[in-house]
Structure 1
Amino acid sequence: MIARLLLSYLRRHTALIFAFFMGAGIFAAVFSLYDLPEEAVAYASALTAAVFLTLGGIRFSVFCARHRALLALNKRIDVELSGLPQPSSLLEAEYQRLLRALFESKRALASALAEKQAQTEEYYALWAHQVKTPIAAMRLMLGASDHDAQLDAELFKIEQYVEMALGYVRAQSDQTDYVLNRAALDEIIRASLRKYARAFVLSKTRLSFRETNLRVLTDEKWLAFCLEQILSNALKYAPGGEIGVYAEGETLVVSDTGIGIAPEDLPRVFEKGYTGYNGRVDMRATGIGLYLVKTVLGRLGHGISIESAPDCGTKVVISLGRDETAFE
C-alpha cells in the first residue's frame, strides 16, 4: 500500500521533481564556470536535497492522511458526505463543491424515487384489495350454483395474477416486510399444494410429494409465494404429466415431466421480461414469475437453479441455506 501511494505521489509531483533536478544542473554548470571548489558545490547541493526531501516527506505524510480520510469516507458516502479533507488549493475546493452538489442531487433523487415507489406500492396494494372483493364474490356465486369447473380454474388464475402483480411491486421495494423465522418446510409446501389442488385435478396432473422433515430459516409468506410461482409454471407446461416435490439434502426440488426449456433459453430464464421459446408459443407468458422468484429468494438468502432439456422436463432446485451476505 505504501509503495503504491509513494508511486502515486511521485507521479503527481513529476513536474516539481524535474524542476528541482533541472535547477540543480543549472547551478552546477554555473558554479563550474567560475571554478568554485567542488566541495562547496557538493555541500550546497546536499543541503538543498535534504531540505527538499524533508519537505517532500512532510507533504507525503499529509497525502497519506488525506488518502485514509477518503477511504473512510468511501464506506459511508451513501449516507453522508461529511469528513472530506480540507482542500489544499482553490481547484480542490471547487472539486469538493461539485462533489457536494452531486451528492445533494443524488440524495434528492433517491428520496423522490423512494416516495414514488411507496405511492406505487400503496396504489397496487389498494388495487389488489379492491379487486379481490369481486373475485371473492364471484367465487361465492360459483359455489352456490352448478357451473363449469373451468370457470373456477380461470378465476383462480386471476387471483394468481393479482398476487403476482402485488408481489412484483413489493419486491422492487427495499422496505419489503421480510420476517425471518425457523419454519417447518413441509407445512409451507402443504399449504401451497392445497392452494393448487384444484388446478392439479383440472389439468389431470399427478403429484408426488415426499416429506422433507426440514426446518429452515426463512420468511414463510415469501417462500410460499416463490413455491407457488414455480408450481404454477410446472402446471402450465406439464399438464397431464407429473410434478414432484421433495428434498435433496438441504435443497428443495420441484420437478416436472413437461415440455422442458430450450438450451439457449436456460441461461436467461431469470431475466426480467424474458419468455423464451415456450413463452412465444404460449402468448400468456409474462416473463415476470421466475424473475420475482430469483429476486425474492436472493433477499431471503436462498439460491435457485434450473436443470432442463426439451421434452425431458424441468428440475427447479432451491437451496435453503441462508447466505449471510444477503442481509449485510
Structure 2
Amino acid sequence: MSGRLYLKNQVPAILVNLIGMLALALFLLASGNRLQTVLFIFIVWLIILTAYLSVVYYVRKRYLNKLLDMTEQLEERYLIPEIMTIPEKADEQVFYQIMKMAEKSMLEKIGAIQNERKEYKEYIEQWIHEVKTPITAMKLLCENNRSPFAREILAELENINQYTEQALYYARSEHTEKDYFVREIDLCDVVHSAIADNKYLLRQSNMTITIEDIENRVYTDDKWVRFILNQMIGNAIKYRTEHPALHFSTIKTNDRIVLSISDNGIGIPKSDLPRIFEKGFTGRNGRTGKNSTGIGLYLCKRLCDKLGIGLTAYSENKGTTIALSFQMNDFVIGVQG
C-alpha cells in the first residue's frame, strides 16, 4: 500500500479534524483563554491525529502485504477468500462477500468446463478405438490380397493409423500417469516394433535402415516410447531426400543410455531448431507443402518430460539426429555394468 495514496484517501478525515481544531481554537480564544494554551491543545491534537494515522497505516499495510503474499503463493488465486479472515469493518465485509460470490461463480464455470473437456476426451478416445477396427480390417484385406495397389493402400493406412495414434496420445497426454506402466524393457525390441509399425511407409520411401549397438535395457514405458519412435520415423519419411537412410544407435554414459535416431533428410534450419518442440510450430520445412501440424514433436517432448526422458535434437542443415536419454538408477547400473 502506497503511503501517498493512503494520505490522499485520508484527506476528508484530515480536513474534518483541521476544521474542528480551528473551531475549538476560535472558541477557546473567544472564551478568554491564553494563546499559549490554545496552541498547546492544537499541537497535542495534531500529535494524536498523526500518531493515529501512522498506526492505522502500519497495521493496514502489514495486513494487506500479508494478503498479497498469500495470494501470490496460491496456484488458483481466485480461492483467496477461503484463506482470508472475515473482516470486521462493514465496507470490507461487502467486498469480502463480492469476492466470495466471484469465487463461487468461477468454481462453477471451471467445473462446467472440466466436465465438457472430460466428455470430449472420452468421446475422442472412444471414436479412435472404433475407427481402429475398420483400419485393422482394411489392413488384413490388403495383406490377404497382395498387389502393388494393396501395398500403396497399406502405406496410407499406416499414415492414418499414425494420425489416430497421435490424436489418442494427445488426448491422454494431460494425465499420462494414469496410463503408463514403467518396467524394464529392451530398446532393441521397441525399435524393431516401431520399424514394423511403419514397414510399408519405409518400403514405399525406399528407406535404408541400419541398427547399431542397441542391446540395452532401460526402465520406462514401452508403449509411450514406441509412440515417440513412430513420430521420429514418420518425420524421417516425411522430410526425406533422395536415397533416404535411417540409423539407430545407443551410447552408454555414467548414468544414462542415449538412443540416437539419425536420418539424412533435409534437416532443420538453425533458426527453427530451438522451437521445434513448441506446440503448433511447423518451421520453414513444415510450411513448404509437408502438411505439418506442429503436434508430433510437441507431444514427444511432453511425454518425455512426463517419463523423465531427455529429448534433444541436432541438425547441421542436412540430416537430423534426435537423442532420447534414459536415466539409469544405481541398481540398473550395477546389473548392466
TM-score range, shorter chain: 0.7 to 0.9
1:314 Cα deviation from its structure 2 partner: 1.1
Residue 107 (structure 1) aligned with residue 100 (structure 2): no
Counterpart position of 2:335: none
Residue 169 (structure 1) aligned with residue 175 (structure 2): no
Distance 1:46 1:321 in 2: 74
Counterpart position of 2:292: 285
Residue 179 (structure 1) aligned with residue 174 (structure 2): no
Long gaps (5+) in structure 2: 329-337
* Residues paired across the two proteins, number: 307
Match of 1:49 among 44, 47, 50: 47
1:245/1:255 contact within 8 Å kept: yes
Alignment RMSD: 3.8
1:126 Cα deviation from its structure 2 partner: 1.8
1:62-101 equivalences under 5 Å are 63-65=61-63, 67-69=65-67, 71-72=69-70, 74-76=72-74, 78=76, 80=79, 81-101=81-101
**Which residue identity lines up with residue 68 of structure 1 in the other structure?**
K
Counterpart position of 2:247: 244
1:14-29 equivalences under 5 Å are 14-15=7-8, 16=10, 19=14, 23=18
Distance 2:249 2:107 in 1: 47
Q: Which moved more, 1:312-321 or 1:174-183?
A: 174-183
**Which residue identity lines up with residue 10 of structure 1 in the other structure?**
G
* TM-score, scaled relative to structure 2: 0.73
1:254/1:316 contact within 8 Å kept: yes
Match of 1:60 among 58, 61, 64: 58
Long gaps (5+) in structure 1: 1-7, 323-328
**Which residue identity lines up with residue 315 of structure 1 in the other structure?**
T
1:94-243 equivalences under 5 Å are 94-148=94-148, 149-171=151-173, 173-174=174-175, 177-179=178-180, 181-184=182-185, 186=187, 187-209=189-211, 210-211=213-214, 213=216, 215-216=218-219, 218-238=220-240, 240-243=243-246
Distance 1:158 1:261 in 2: 25
Q: Secondary structure at the match of 1:254?
A: strand
**Which residue identity lines up with residue 168 of structure 2 in the other structure?**
L
Q: Which moved more, 1:126-135 or 1:271-280?
A: 271-280
Q: Secondary structure at the match of 2:262?
A: strand
Counterpart position of 1:316: 322
Q: Which moved more, 1:52-61 or 1:249-258?
A: 52-61
* TM-score, scaled relative to structure 1: 0.75
Counterpart position of 2:305: 298
Identity across the alignment (%): 26
Distance 1:298 1:144 in 2: 41
Counterpart position of 2:334: none
**Which residue identity lines up with residue 244 of structure 1 in the other structure?**
H
